[in-house]
Amino acid sequence: MGKAIQPQPGILDIALYQGGASHLDGMSNVLKLSSNENPLGPSDAAKEAMIRASHDLHRYPPTDHGALRQAIADVWDVDAGRVFCGVGSGDVLKLLAEAYAGPGDEVVFTEHGFSMYPIYAHACGATPVVVAENERVVDVDTILKACSPKTRLVFIANPANPTGTMIGSAEVTRLAEGLPPQALLVLDGAYAEFVDGFDAGKALVEARENVFMSRTFSKIYGLGGMRVGWGYGPQAIIDVLNRIRGPFNLSAPALAAAEAAVRDTEHTEKCRAENAKWRDWLANALAELGVPSDTSTANFILARFADETEANACDDHLRSAGIIVRKVAGYGLPHCLRITVGDESACRRVAHAVAQFKGTD
Ligand SMILES: *Cc1c(COP(=O)(O)O)cnc(C)c1O
């Protein structure tokens, strides 16, 4: 017994995802800056919509996500018929892997790419192919060289997590144009809304047959606890995803909250502007303390230290000050710490603690 019952190939190769820590033993007033959550929280309209939805919890939710897809279409100027909604964007990415890759196929992503990509690849039995970046920036030529007749999916987060860097639309277009015909380019736009005026690849999705973009309600919309994400892609791919998703994958409160959140563009704009202001303030404050970071386009900065020892020592100091940030050794960045941009007081608290650590305060 035991040995006879085995999971599908690849599943036991998965290392469990490590989420951002959220408490420190024996400490109150802990500042959690480890999961890129929105310090301003969700829009009031989203909270009210969720509570209203609670009165009808005995009803199944709509299976077509029609009202949410229309809201997304209205706000982002996309075709509602080609919007797909999932339980967080992670669900959308996982369904893409299940639908388009399997044993013998390759899934390509970059060395500091989001840590869920190898999990999606292994979970469907495909082979992850990890390619180098150029100084913490995705490199199109290196990706294209790594592609083969076995490549089925290429995952790129733009802006990227945990580096915060991004590549321009000309580079993304060159990547899409250069892929082998059986490969789909997946543009993970989890942080796209933090970039003013960025289309996240929408135009490329509409111009081509081999590009898909995903978006989430977990970051700028402050709804990580609700689990809603969406994707936009060629109709044929949307039709495939709709065949394999759960018919009632999104709960009625989640649909209602997300619809209200996407329509509250005033709140979104406020979150974008506040994030940009305090992100730049924090990056400058740390740089003056001798802790540089690449220019971030997202809601976190990747602080670079002299080496792993200094990064770990700073993390220890931050923890002793009640501040939780993200260690990123698992992303191949042992000398860095990823720090979510909080509100003004959070950013000041981080800068103060790093100054103490550096002995300049
Ligand atoms: C946070 C994040 C997501 C979003 O995950 P959800 O499942 O939508 O909560 C996706 N991709 C990247 C790169 C992220 O950092």
pLDDT by residue (tens digit) across 83-128? 999 999 999 999 999 999 999 999 999 999 999 999 999 999 999 9
Given a cut of 60, whether residue 289 has pLDDT beyond it is yes
Cβ neighbours of residue 81 closer than 8 Å, sequence gap 6 or more = 69, 235, 238
Once rounded to an integer, what is the mean pLDDT over residues 260-265?
98
d(CA 339, CA 95): 30
- Is the Cβ–Cβ distance between 191 and 162 less than 8 Å? no
CA 299 to the chain's CA centroid: 11
Distance CA 337, CA 345 (A): 19
The token duo for 157 is 């987060």
Measured by CA distance, the residue closest to atom 6 of ligand 1 is 88
Task: Output the pLDDT for position 21.
Answer: 78
Give the position, in ligand 1's atom list, of the atom nearest the Cα of 157.
Answer: 13
Tokens of 109: 């992503």
Q: In what order do the strands lie in the sheet with 300-304?
A: 300-304, 336-340, 326-327
**pLDDT in the model for residue 356:** 97
Gap from CA of 170 to ligand 1 centroid (Å)? 24
Average pLDDT over residues 155-170: 98
- Choose which residue among 18, 116, 158 to substitute to test ligand 1 binding: the one with the highest number of ligand atoms within 8 A of its C-beta: 116
Ligand 1 centre from 352 Cα, in Å?
29
Dihedral angle computed from the Cα positions of residues 41, 42, 45 and 46, in that order, rounded to the nearest 10 degrees: -140
DSSP codes, 49-109: HHHHHGGGTTSPPPSS-HHHHHHHHHHHT--GGGEEEESSHHHHHHHHHHHH--TT-EEEE
Residues 6+ apart with CB under 8 A from 140: 167, 171, 172, 174, 175, 178
Is the pTM higher than 0.85? The answer reads yes
Eight-class DSSP state of 166: -
- In tens, the pLDDT along 303-360 reads 999 999 999 999 999 999 999 999 999 999 999 999 999 999 999 999 999 999 998 7
Between these two residues, 3 and 311, which has the higher pLDDT value?
Answer: 311
- Residue 361: pLDDT band (50, 70, 90) is low
283 pLDDT tier (thresholds 50, 70, 90): very high
Of 243, 216, 92, 221, nearest to 161 (Cα)? Answer: 216
How far does the centroid of ligand 1 lie from the alpha carbon of residue 216, in Å? 7
Instruction: Quote the DSSP letter at residue 331.
Output: G
Lowest mean pLDDT among 4-8, 22-26, 33-37, 163-167: 22-26
pLDDT bin (cut points 50, 70, 90) of residue 1 is low
Q: Which two tokens stand for residue 293?
A: 């970071």
pLDDT value at residue 22: 81
Average pLDDT value for residue range 193-212:
97
At 127 the three-state DSSP class reads: strand
Q: What is the mean pLDDT of the chain?
A: 96
Query: Which residue in this structure is represented by tokens 């802790």?
Result: 291
Pocket flag, ligand 1, residue 216 (CB < 6 Å): yes
* Alpha-carbon distances of 213 from 129, 154, 168, 209, 274, rounded to whole Å: 20, 12, 15, 12, 25
